[in-house]
Chain A
Amino acid sequence: MTQTVFLVDDDAGILKALSRALHGEGWKVQTFESAEAFLARPNPNDDGCLVLDVTMPGFDGFELQRRLTETKQYLPIIFLTGHGDIPMSVRALKAGASDFLTKPVQVQALVASLRSAIEQGASARKLRAEVANLQRRLASLTPREREVFAALATGKLNKQIAADLGVVEQTVKFHRARIMERMGARTVAKLMHIAARLGIG
């Protein structure tokens, strides 16, 4: 585990204690005394996991989570609060947080939560990469091919599509073969699956 834990809390005592405890467990830790300080961190591309206090002066933990999503900084987030209630935790998890813990927290619980957050983060990253790849492929289709792809995705037969577009069935078949090749789908079922992931149809 060489990933960095970013601790954000307005309480210096807690930053010190938690970074000591996490160091003891072999983690790299960076601390920030406010959400603003974290946003202005020198290496925004470093990978890791964010452990975030909810209640802070200036903008709070939820606001930081919103801004990170807005700017597409997909770090896994664990919320850590002294005063958690159910509505608060639901709000955090709905907005994509991996966990919602209350203070005081035992270091073993925090470590377990960090591990699963990082794992989740990794698989989420993989999924995002796959979708990005498919989108790139989609972009390489001609406008006509995209039209045919959309019609296929709704489940229409070649004959119907040909009638809709005013072409012969053979042309539709030709487009379909090109689409499957470009999208990397070997079967029609696979193509339908890709369409669903891209939200086409």
Chain B
Amino acid sequence: MVCGSRPLGVRARATVRATIALWVALLGFAVRAAETAPAGVLILHSNQRPTPAQVVIDDQLRTVVTDGFKRPVQIFSEYLDDEWVSLQTYGAVEAGFLQQKYGGRNIRVAVTDSLPALRFAMQFRERVLAGVPVVFLAVARDRVDRASIPPDIVGVFEDHDPTPTLRLAQRLHPGTTRLVVIRGASELDRLWDHRLRAAVGRLGNGLEVEYLAGLPTADVLRRVGALSRGTVVFTPGYFVDGDAQVSTPRQTVERISQASTVPVYGAFDTLLGAGIVGGYMTRYEDQAREAGALVVRLLNGVTPAEIESSPVARVPMVDWRQLRRWRVDEGLLPAGTIVRSRDPTIWNQYWREISVAAVVLVLQAGLIAALLVERRSRRRTATALEGTQAQMSLAARAVGLSSWIWDTARDVARTTPLARVAPDPSPLQPIAFDRVVAAAHPADRDSLKRAVSMAQRTGEELDVEYRVVAPGGAVRWISARGRAEEREPNRLLGIALDITERKLAELRASEDRAALRQMGRVSMAGQLSAAIAHQLNQPLAAILGNAEAAQKILGHQDIDVKELRAICSDIVSENHRATEIMRRLRELYMHGDIKIEPIDLNQLILETLELLRTELLLRHVTPVTDLATVPAIEGGHVQLQQVLLNLVLNAADAMDGKKPAERTLTIRTESAATDVRLHVEDNGTGIAGEHLKNIFNPFWSTKAEGMGMGLAICQSIVASHHGTITAANNAHGGAAFCVTLPTAWRESSLT
């Protein structure tokens, strides 16, 4: 409907001109429609779906361009999906599609979010957006030949020179005399050689350097496990090791830093949290901000020739947990260092800010008291109040938080001006609570209202996290804390803090976890594939037999229609059986977020045993179930099934050494006061006493070919359902696992 209203407006104008020359107006119709459309900006992402980095890039670009360009602007995002399809072969089709979609949209600038997207734009630009300037970002400075970039393509480069990171390492670990540099064996990994040698030359302070280039991971881990004090490790991570084993930089860095006896430094902010201490990183929001500024300049008529592409300044970033691990003095950090992953409680994370806010609030409370005493000098007080407010704002802005007072009796809230947090542009004006709620994300409004009315009723502390949606569509996370004043219960005092960055880090971590779980399911599907092929052959054999019998009947003189009908109906039901097997298999390969739904645990058990039927038959294990009536629980079907599959297959493994007739596997459910329990018990080898405390640790395995991830994944899934998983040995030998799941929990926090 939005699109429809525009030509109507144009047509109205055309009608006025029709008194002069109707046909001229009609001919010019299409042209004018395009001219009067708002300026368009097209963002080309290379991935198939928004990753956290792309969410940041997209949000930041939209904010900067909308705020910076004073006239109406329409911003479009496209995901090219180069991970799945080669843009070499598929690019022309994609280009044709984009041309059709955006040809009439008055696109004035295109933005590419990565090197593949830039390459796509360079190759197909003439077909899609002839003459439209392109702004690029997230492109490493040394990965493109600058001479090959046409003059109307400009942008911001990433700088991958490791020199500042190496300097940071020397600064944080005084007495460092030795540097160990680790890189992988693929072509991408080799790019680092040049960067690192140049950087070491630049340092030039007698540092002894050892290169571990393209070694097998096992060798690397052994070497870093035996490093002595005074050494630091630098690694950008790698894709392929000396044994041609493929992994991701994050995985390799995780393993290296776990094994290392000395601090490890890295090259990307995505490696923060994987065990590196830190380094100088290019942040996506900085790149997007600078690219956005270029877009605004181009929209304002600056020609690309006047713009020079330049690298984005990097900022030092460190992982707080690693600082603690290596006992680094925080006083040594350069000014402006971003410290990630502080302890998650709000007090530990923001105690300085909260202390400042508390002092500010005490000052303000005192002022209000004085105000009540000195009613006569109201005007003077008002001036003082304004002054205090200004000071308070200054202090609050310095620490990135805002404070607020809310008079519930009159429904008037006041908040300090902090653009990031408060959605209201005129903060000194009182705002009604409804407007605060209206600014919140629709999904969070109820919980926000509930929390506030609870705090008001009980006098307990208010503690709520919610999202606000800025007019441009950007989402920020806010943590609000406060409490009712003792003397005036109608007045709530509190602070609000922007915690978007922390939330993004959490999101990234939860994506990693989801990927790991998916990997676990896929490896299980591989393990089960032989059995499932067998299972699938049953209905196929039945279908074939039935179909051949039917063919025979059709060759007879008098056809037995009744029998034919029975055969056909059997074929249909066998087909359903095959489909059902495929559906269960597909579930194991399923990607994506956890879908929370009510789950009947008993039903889940029966379905899982059906999936495992042949596998267990081949292993001569006959499961026994003892299922009590249990209430439904809330949870992810696929994830809980993964837990059960893991436990049952582990039990079957543990009983391999036993005679077939002696193998017993028991699956029980029971209902307790507020939770439901699932027991999986076997009479296999049991768990040796010294192993009991380790079995849920990642990479811990007693099996020769085990990855050691199965039970760690189980525990993470159960924990995300707010449950627990325990392991013990049976009195009569064998292991007993017990999963306890609560029947009710707060829905917002599943990760």
Contacts and interface: CB of A to CB of B under 8 A. Distances in A.
A104 B540 contact: yes
B270 to A, nearest CB: 43
B722 to A, nearest CB: 37
Q: Which 5 A-B pairs have the closest CB atoms?
A: A17-B545, A83-B534, A24-B552, A82-B537, A103-B541
B530 A14 contact: no
A11 B549 contact: no
Interface in B389-442: none
Given A20-B545, A25-B552, 11 more contacts: A14-B545, A21-B545, A21-B549, A24-B549, A56-B617, A82-B533, A82-B614, A83-B614, A102-B537, A104-B537, A104-B545
B116 interface: no
State which size class the interface on A falls in: 20 to 34
Nearest to B530: A83
Contacts of A14: 538, 541-542, 545
Interface in B529-551: 530-531, 533-546, 548-549
B286 interface: no
Interface string B568-610: 0010011001000000000000000000000000000000000
A57 interface: yes
B618 interface: yes
Contact of A105 (B534, B544, B549): B544
Interface of B: 530-531, 533-546, 548-549, 552-553, 567, 570, 573-574, 577, 614, 617-618, 620, 622
Given A14-B541, A55-B617, A83 B546 contact: no
B541 A57 contact: no
A104 B541 contact: yes
A18 to B, nearest CB: 5
Nearest to B540: A104
Contacts of A107: 545, 548-549
Contact of A17 (B535, B543, B552): B543
A21 B552 contact: yes
Contact of B538 (A24, A60, A103): A103
A100 to B, nearest CB: 14
A103 B618 contact: no
Contacts of A81: 534
Contacts, number: 84
Contact of A13 (B549, B553, B574, B622): B574
A85 B353 CA distance: 68
A156 interface: no
Interface in A1-34: 11, 13-14, 16-18, 20-21, 23-25
A103 B570 contact: no
A106 interface: yes
A114 B535 CA distance: 25
Contacts of B543: 17, 104
Given A20-B549, A24-B548, A83-B531, A55 B614 contact: yes
Contacts of A13: 538-539, 542, 570, 573-574, 577
A16 B537 contact: no
Contacts of B552: 21, 24-25
Contacts of A21: 545-546, 548-549, 552
A127 B570 CA distance: 44
Given A20-B567, A24-B553, A11 B542 contact: yes
B534 A82 contact: yes
B76 to A, nearest CB: 52
A91 B657 CA distance: 21
Contact of B549 (A17, A55, A82, A102): A17
Nearest to A10: B617
Nearest to A11: B538
16 contacts: A13-B539, A13-B570, A13-B577, A14-B538, A14-B541, A17-B541, A17-B549, A18-B545, A21-B545, A25-B552, A57-B622, A82-B537, A83-B618, A104-B541, A104-B545, A107-B548
Contacts of A57: 617, 622
Given A25-B552, A55-B618, A17 B546 contact: yes
A147 B544 CA distance: 61
Contacts of B567: 20
